[in-house]
Amino acid sequence: MKFQINSPKNQITFFLDSKLYPIEAIYGAAYVFIDRAYIFLDGDPQKEIIICLKGKKKMNFKELEGLQGEFYNELLNYLLRVKIAKRNKKVRDFIVGTALVSGSNIFDSSPDGSDNDYLDDPLGIAVPWEDKYKENTAKKKKQDETSV
């Protein structure tokens, strides 16, 4: 593992082989550290990625070295996530596709077997409140006028 610690600048720079660590895993690990360090990524994504972590608070040599170790642990975590996501892609796509197809048939037919259109309103939900309760409102208005 090649790395350089620059204590006066409060940063550690190290290099990752992009054949071992895909860029998606590097981005995921870097995101976890944005609250503790400024992260700079450089290099050739086909060969080697240069990671520079600059602490947001002052760190000594050991703390910067520990930051690199934590980054590697998080990188391993995200590497596993990327591999599992690739392995489960077909199953995930099937589940989402099935859910979308099932959802698209929601207005095709009702439980009683009749065909419904999305414009049908069998429960009267789309009727404005004033129109639905016009008679009750008129009766109540007459009662209020007579009681005065």
Range of the domain at 58: 3-90
DSSP string, 11-43: EEEEEEETTTS-HHHHHHHHHHTTTTEEEEEEE
> CATH number for the domain including 43?
3.30.70.60
- Read off the DSSP letter of residue 21: S
Residues 5-20: tens digit of each pLDDT:
988 899 999 999 988 9
What integer is the mean pLDDT of 23-52? 93
In a domain, 16, yes or no: yes
Residues 87-99: tens digit of each pLDDT:
999 999 999 888 8
What integer is the mean pLDDT of 16-29? 92
In a domain, 58, yes or no: yes
Q: Number of folded domains in the chain?
A: 1
Spatial distance between the Cα atoms of 107 and 112, rounded to a whole number of angstroms: 13
Quick count: other Cβ atoms within 10 Å of Cβ 88?
Answer: 11
SS3 of the chain: helix, strand, coil, percent, to 5: 50, 20, 35
Contacts of 118 by beta carbon, 8 Å cutoff, 6+ apart:
107
In a domain, 147, yes or no: no
Spatial distance between the Cα atoms of 55 and 26, rounded to a whole number of angstroms: 18
In a domain, 35, yes or no: yes
In a domain, 48, yes or no: yes
User: pLDDT band for position 132 (50/70/90)?
Assistant: confident
What integer is the mean pLDDT of 72-98? 92
